[in-house]
Structure 1
Amino acid sequence: MIYKRGSEKDIIRILVSLDQNYLFRFQVLLTSIAVNNPQEKMEIYLMHSDIPEEKLESVKKQCASFDYGFFSIAVDSAIFSNAPETKRYPQEMYYRLLAAHLLPQDLKRILYLDPDIIVINDLRPLWETEMQGNLFAAASHTGLTELANNVNRLRLGTDSDYYNSGVLLIDLEACRKEIIPEEVITFSTTRRMSLVLPDQDILNAMFGHRILPLDDSIWNYDARKYNSYLARSSGKTDINWIFSHTVILHFCGRAKPWKSRYPYRFGLLYKHYEQLTRRWLENLE
Structure 2
Amino acid sequence: MSMQQDTIYIVIATDNHYAILLAALLKSVEQNHTSGERIEFYIIDNGITSENIAKLKTILNPEAYGLHFCNMKSVLPKDMVLPVDGSALPFVAYMRMFAPYIIPPEAEKVLYLDVDMIVVTDISKLWHTDIGDYMVGCVQDHSQVVSCEWAGIRNYAQLGLSPDTKYFNSGLLHIKTKAWREANIPEQIIRCSEENKEYLSLADQYPLNVVFANKWFELDPRWNCKAILDIKDPYIMHFIDIKPIYKSYNGSKYYQDTFYKYLDMTPWANYSPVSNYIRLWRKVYYKLVKASSKMINKKRG
Coarse TM-score class (shorter-chain normalised) = 0.7 to 0.9
Post-superposition Cα deviations, 1:62-99, rounded to whole Å, max 9, x if no partner, equal: 23457311122223355553421567322221221232
* 1:183 CA displacement: 3.0
- 1:210 corresponds to which residue? 215
- Scaled by the length of structure 1, the TM-score of the pair is 0.79
Matched, 1:220 2:217: no
* 1:180 CA displacement: 4.4
Flag the 1:8–1:193 CA change in 2: closer, same or farther, 3 A: farther
The alignment partner of 2:266 has SS state of: helix
Residue pair 2:23, 2:56 contacting (<8 A) in 1 also: yes
* 1:280 CA displacement: 7.1
- 1:114 corresponds to which residue? 114
- Match among 53, 56, 65 for residue 56 of structure 1: 53
Distance (whole Å) between structure 2 residues aligned to residue 85 and residue 214 of structure 1: 28
- Match among 176, 180, 187 for residue 175 of structure 1: 180
Matched, 1:248 2:252: no
Flag the 1:279–1:171 CA change in 2: closer, same or farther, 3 A: same
Residue pair 1:37, 1:122 contacting (<8 A) in 2 also: yes
Distance (whole Å) between structure 2 residues aligned to residue 66 and residue 28 of structure 1: 19
Post-superposition Cα deviations, 1:96-119, rounded to whole Å, max 9, x if no partner, equal: 123223443222111111111101
- Match among 28, 35, 44 for residue 32 of structure 1: 28
Post-superposition Cα deviations, 1:109-136, rounded to whole Å, max 9, x if no partner, equal: 1111111110111222210111211111
- 1:133 corresponds to which residue? 133
Q: Structure 2, unaligned stretches of length 5 or more?
A: 271-301
Flag the 1:79–1:185 CA change in 2: closer, same or farther, 3 A: farther
Matched, 1:258 2:245: yes
> Match for 1:248: what amino acid?
I
- 1:270 corresponds to which residue? 259
- Match among 178, 198, 207 for residue 193 of structure 1: 198
The alignment partner of 1:278 has SS state of: coil
Matched, 1:42 2:59: no
- Match among 162, 167, 170 for residue 165 of structure 1: 170
- 1:3 corresponds to which residue? none
- 2:96 corresponds to which residue? 96
- Scaled by the length of structure 2, the TM-score of the pair is 0.75
- 2:288 corresponds to which residue? none
Distance (whole Å) between structure 2 residues aligned to residue 195 and residue 53 of structure 1: 34
Distance (whole Å) between structure 1 residues aligned to residue 115 and residue 122 of structure 2: 18
> Match for 1:124: what amino acid?
S
Flag the 1:143–1:274 CA change in 2: closer, same or farther, 3 A: same
The alignment partner of 2:112 has SS state of: strand
The alignment partner of 1:162 has SS state of: strand
Flag the 1:64–1:46 CA change in 2: closer, same or farther, 3 A: same
* 1:146 CA displacement: 9.3
Q: Which has the higher strand share?
A: 2
- 2:276 corresponds to which residue? none
Q: Structure 1, unaligned stretches of length 5 or more?
A: 1-6, 230-236
How large is the Cα RMSD of the aligned pairs? 3.0
* 1:141 CA displacement: 2.3
